[in-house]
Amino acid sequence: MSNIDSAIPTKPWRASNRERLTDISIFLGAFISSYVFVALTPMKGKLAYFAVFFIAYALFTSIFKARQRGSAAAKDALVNSLVAIGAVVTVIPVFSILLTVLRKGLPGISFGLFTHDMALASPTDPLNNGGLLHAITGTLTLVAIALVLSVPIGILTALYLTEIKGSFKGPIRFLVQAMSGVPSIVAGLFILSAVLYPITKAYSGLMGALALTILMIPTIARTSEEVLNLIPNELREAGTALGGTQWRTVAMIVLPAAKSGLTTAIILGVARIAGETAPILLLTGGGDTVNPNAFNGPMGSLPYYIWKSFNAGSPEAITRAWAGLLVLIGLVLILFTSARLLGSRKAAK
Amino acid sequence: MTTAHESETTKMQVPVKPNSLADVAQVLRTPGTKAIGTGLETRGIHAWFGKHHALSNISLGFAAGTVTALIGPSGCGKSTFIRTINRMHEFIPGAAMAGEVLLDGKDVYAPGTDVTKIRLQIGMVFQKPNPFPSMTIGENVLSGLKLAQLKVDNKDDLMQECLERAGLWSEVKDRLGAHGGSLSGGQQQRLCIARALAVRPQVLLMDEPCSALDPGSTLRIEDTIRHLSETMTIIIVTHNMQQAARVSDYTAFFLSEGGPGQMIEVAPTSDIFSRPQDQRTENYVTGRFG
């Protein structure tokens, strides 16, 4: 009993102080050598520091581990440092973009931005004149119409490929893949020449949304197909064996089981189109006032607002553009978070 | 619901094969017992996967209210055989079959048969427990009704009855709203049995229902099978010969000797294990191969 009582919980797998010290000295050594290296050679600039530091760090850790525990440990250390470098290299641009947008956009954010449109203001006016209400409502309208059109088509396409497995499976999968590579300007020109010129002959939100739908369908269809393929076949068999028709089985069992994945597919679809500018320039005309009618008249949108403000060139206009970017990123973030919450809450119920 | 008299006449129309279990059923059927159909009979069942001939000429009778175990080494076509009975075989691309499956004297493969109705009458429990992940325990039990768009008066009573018959009620009655996936493997399998019972099938096919389970859960499911056999016909595929001996009234031995799977022998379970007629059966049940 006594030796059970006297046992102290320890974590022997944790790094000791000595090991931590060597890790820190390797890090510092790599830091100093990168500094010396840059100072002594003609290579200059931030990128040189980064590159030399990472190479030196990877080199030092693997040499140290090789001396300590042999070649397998050296390889492990080398791959570990490569992974760390990869993570840093991936994360830095993301945070850099977000920070830049925040730094340059925040001065342009005010309450009036969300309550006014640009009907009585030009991009070069002082910042307290006008706002981007028309652009926010326009983007939301465009995304909503594109969602309504592309989600059923995209998911039904995926169901055709995974559940019905019809004889046109091959050609349709090929078409969907080809469509996902279509440049957005081509989708815009297609709607322009196939619908806008011959039929409506006028700018409208619907025309822009149609082009966005073309861009969104392949993303939703492909991702949904991947997700539906992951649903185990046993569930389909169980539904069929209980006397369900194929449609009832798909609607009651397969789709609910794939719900969170399908939410992801829709989010990716929205991400694909939220910032699209080229088709919008061609098809919606880009108004400066709030246009509640998606079927007629030019409609503003955030990408268009950003583009127009940057083109205006004055310091106020540039700040407006950055503020528009910040609002666009925020809007997309809100859309994604609410989609995730909606998907997970229903799944948890 | 057929009366005893009607089922007698139906039986008369079905020519009974010599030595088939339908003979035994007629002997066993005593006047006044609840009519649960006249059982199931397969005649000359063959099955193919593409060009591969998997199963050859299986003719077997399954009397109403009996438990029949199908035993035999892996790959001898036992699972394929029971999947031809509820027409799940055709679910596999490239599958083909020949022969007749008579349920109450009617061929389930007859032209114009509604295949979903057949699957309501012939339920199935799979090898791996597969509760529907997006549904709660209660919703899982009633999912068959929803899938087939059937109406019942009192869903709660039916749910309780099915869970009781599957031997799961006492364990889950306080958490019917929890997810099916939160149960243990044995409980999940009993949930799948309860789910199959909710549509009131006449026949229950069980494809190695205990192969993924621990001994305790296995015993509980065997208890469940014995209770269920009072009201339905059960066909169970198993690799566990003790299980076949414990739960079944009849045992059929399947074997594939290079070619398609064939039925070597069928007899009352005690006979198969004590005095098998075929040398191959004896070799298998005594553990000399397979």
Tens of pLDDT, residues A13-39:
888 888 889 889 988 999 898 888 888
Point out which residues pair with B206 in neighbouring strands.
B125, B236
Same domain, A27 and A165: no
Tell me the C-alpha distance between B277 and A55, whole Å.
Answer: 77
pLDDT grade for A105, boundaries at 50, 70 and 90: very high
Q: Which position has the token pair 């320039």?
A: A281
Provide the pLDDT for residue A2.
54
Give me the long-range contacts of A162-168 (CB less than 8 A, separation at least 24).
Answer: A162/A225, A162/A228, A162/A229, A163/A228, A163/A236, A163/A246, A163/A250, A163/A254, A164/A246, A165/B93
Tell me the C-alpha distance between A349 and A131, whole Å.
Answer: 41
**pLDDT over 50 (residue B2):** no
Q: Which residues contact B110 (CB under 8 A, 6 or more apart)?
A: none
Same domain, A158 and A224: yes
Provide the pLDDT for residue B222.
92
> Considering the domain boundaries, does residue A120 fall inside one?
no
Q: Are B17 and B213 in contact (CB under 8 A)?
A: no
Using a CB-CB cut-off of 8 Å, the residues of chain A touching B130 are: 232, 234-235, 237-238
Same domain, A144 and A48: no
The predicted-structure confidence for A264-290, as pLDDT tens digits, reads as follows 999 999 998 988 999 999 999 888 888
CB contact under 8 A, A240 and B128: no
Neighbours of B182 (CB within 10 A): 13
Q: Lowest mean pLDDT: which of A7-11, A271-275, B30-34, B71-75?
A: B30-34
Tell me the C-alpha distance between B141 and B137, whole Å.
Answer: 7
Q: Which position has the token pair 């699209």?
A: A276
* CATH architecture label of B4-285: 3-Layer(aba) Sandwich (3.40)
Dihedral class, residue A36 (left if φ above 0, else alpha if ψ from -120 to 50, else beta): alpha
**pLDDT over 50 (residue B27):** no
Tell me the C-alpha distance between B213 and B211, whole Å.
Answer: 6
pTM of the model: 0.80
Q: Which residues contact A102 (CB under 8 A, 6 or more apart)?
A: A326
Same domain, A199 and A327: yes
Task: Kindly identify which residue of chain A lies nearest to residue B200, measuring between CA atoms.
Answer: A242
- Mean of pLDDT values over A56-81: 89
Query: HEC states along chain A?
Result: CHHHHCCCCCCCCCCCHHHHHHHHHHHHHHHHHHHHHHHHCCCCCHHHHHHHHHHHHHHHHHHHHHHHHCHHHHHHHHHHHHHHHHHHHHHHHHHHHHHHHHHHHHHHCCHHHHCCCCCCCCCCCCCCCCCCHHHHHHHHHHHHHHHHHHHHHHHHHHHHHHHHCCCCHHHHHHHHHHHCCCCHHHHHHHHHHHHHHHHHCCCCHHHHHHHHHHHHHHHHHHHHHHHHHCCCHHHHHHHHHCCCCHHHHHHHHHHHHCHHHHHHHHHHHHHHHHCCCHHHHHHCECCCCCCCCCCCCCECCHHHHHHHHHHHCCHHHHHHHHHHHHHHHHHHHHHHHHHHHHHHHHHHC
Using a CB-CB cut-off of 8 Å, the residues of chain B touching A243 are: 116-117, 119-120, 144, 147-148, 199
Compute the C-alpha angle A301/A306/A309, nearest 5°.
Answer: 120
Alpha-carbon gap: B119 to the closest alpha carbon of chain A (Å): 5
> Considering the domain boundaries, does residue A44 fall inside one?
yes
Alpha-carbon gap: B289 to the closest alpha carbon of chain A (Å): 31
- Mean of pLDDT values over B228-250: 92
**pLDDT over 70 (residue A161):** yes
Same domain, A94 and A158: no
Residue type, position B197, single letter: L
pLDDT averaged over every residue in chain B? 85
- Mean of pLDDT values over A203-211: 94
Nearest residue to A242 (alpha-carbon basis) of B161, B180, B192, B40: B192
Provide the pLDDT for residue B36.
54
Helix ranges (DSSP H) in chain B = 4-13, 21-28, 78-85, 115-121, 137-141, 143-147, 155-165, 169-172, 185-197, 215-228, 241-247, 269-274, 279-285
Tell me the C-alpha distance between A62 and B54, whole Å.
Answer: 57
pLDDT grade for A345, boundaries at 50, 70 and 90: low
The predicted-structure confidence for B205-221, as pLDDT tens digits, reads as follows 999 999 888 888 899 88
* Structure token digits, residue B153: 């008066």
- Percent of chain A with pLDDT strictly greater than 70: 97
pLDDT grade for B131, boundaries at 50, 70 and 90: very high
**pLDDT over 60 (residue B9):** no
Angle between the A133-159 and A259-274 helix axes, to the nearest 10 degrees?
Answer: 130
CB pairs under 8 A between A and B: 73
Provide the pLDDT for residue B212.
82
Tell me the C-alpha distance between A78 and A61, whole Å.
Answer: 7
Point out which residues pair with B97 in neighbouring strands.
B47
More confident residue, A216 or A200: A216
Same domain, A102 and A238: no
Tell me the residue range of the domain where A218 lies: 133-348
Q: Are A192 and A204 in contact (CB under 8 A)?
A: no
Tell me the C-alpha distance between A208 and A279, whole Å.
Answer: 6
Task: Kindly identify which residue of chain B lies nearest to residue A242, measuring between CA atoms.
Answer: B144
CB contact under 8 A, B123 and A238: no
Same domain, A143 and A202: yes
> Considering the domain boundaries, does residue A115 fall inside one?
no
- Show which of A107, A123, A144 is a domain's final residue: A107
Using a CB-CB cut-off of 8 Å, the residues of chain A touching B196 are: 241-242
pLDDT grade for B85, boundaries at 50, 70 and 90: very high
CB contact under 8 A, A347 and B128: no
Asked if A230 has any chain B CB less than 8 Å from its own CB, the reply is no
CB contact under 8 A, B117 and A243: yes
Same domain, A171 and A230: yes
Complex ipTM, two decimals? 0.81
Using a CB-CB cut-off of 8 Å, the residues of chain B touching A232 are: 130
Using a CB-CB cut-off of 8 Å, the residues of chain B touching A240 are: 88, 91, 119
Domain count, chain A: 2
- Cα R_g (chain A), whole angstroms: 28
How far CA A198 is from CA of A201, A211, A295, B228, in Å, comes to 7, 16, 16, 69
Residue type, position A101, single letter: V
Using a CB-CB cut-off of 8 Å, the residues of chain B touching A244 are: 116, 144, 147-148
Alpha-carbon gap: A94 to the closest alpha carbon of chain B (Å): 35
Query: HEC states along B218-250?
Result: HHHHHHHHHHHCCCCEEEEECCCHHHHHHHCCE
The predicted-structure confidence for A310-327, as pLDDT tens digits, reads as follows 998 888 899 999 999 999
Compute the C-alpha angle A214/A217/A223, nearest 5°.
Answer: 150
Same domain, A59 and A200: no
Task: Kindly identify which residue of chain A lies nearest to residue B82, measuring between CA atoms.
Answer: A241
Query: Hey, which of A288-292, B17-21, B26-30 has the most confident mean pLDDT?
Result: A288-292
- Percent of chain B with pLDDT strictly greater than 90: 62
DSSP 3-state assignment of B25? helix
Residue type, position B93, single letter: P
CB contact under 8 A, B123 and A240: no
* Structure token digits, residue B287: 């553990």
CATH code assigned at A266: 1.10.3720.10
H or E stretch at B44: strand B40-49
> Considering the domain boundaries, does residue A229 fall inside one?
yes
Alpha-carbon gap: A180 to the closest alpha carbon of chain B (Å): 30
CB contact under 8 A, A244 and B116: yes
Residues of B with CB under 8 A from a CB of A: 86, 88, 91, 93, 116-117, 119-120, 123-124, 126, 128, 130, 132-135, 143-144, 146-149, 192, 195-196, 199
The predicted-structure confidence for A226-255, as pLDDT tens digits, reads as follows 999 999 999 999 999 999 999 999 999 999
Same domain, A268 and A319: yes
pLDDT averaged over every residue in chain A? 89
**pLDDT over 60 (residue B31):** no
Tell me the C-alpha distance between A223 and A263, whole Å.
Answer: 10
> Considering the domain boundaries, does residue A305 fall inside one?
yes
**pLDDT over 90 (residue A347):** no
pLDDT grade for A121, boundaries at 50, 70 and 90: confident
Alpha-carbon gap: B46 to the closest alpha carbon of chain A (Å): 21
> Considering the domain boundaries, does residue A140 fall inside one?
yes
pLDDT grade for A44, boundaries at 50, 70 and 90: confident
**pLDDT over 90 (residue B158):** yes
Q: Are A302 and A139 in contact (CB under 8 A)?
A: yes
Domain locations in chain B?
Answer: 4-285
Alpha-carbon gap: A173 to the closest alpha carbon of chain B (Å): 19
Provide the pLDDT for residue B220.
87
**pLDDT over 50 (residue B20):** no
Written as one string, the DSSP assignment of B84-96 is HHTT-GGGSTTEE
Same domain, A203 and A330: yes
Provide the pLDDT for residue A208.
94
Provide the pLDDT for residue B37.
61
Q: Are B22 and B55 in contact (CB under 8 A)?
A: no
Tell me the C-alpha distance between A93 and A305, whole Å.
Answer: 24
The whole-angstrom distance between residue A282's C-alpha and the CA centroid of its chain comes to 24
Asked if A119 has any chain B CB less than 8 Å from its own CB, the reply is no
Half-sphere exposure of A255 (CA within 13 A, CB side): 12
Same domain, A181 and A307: yes
pLDDT grade for A119, boundaries at 50, 70 and 90: confident
Neighbours of A11 (CB within 10 A): 6
Tell me the C-alpha distance between B220 and B123, whole Å.
Answer: 20
Alpha-carbon gap: B92 to the closest alpha carbon of chain A (Å): 10
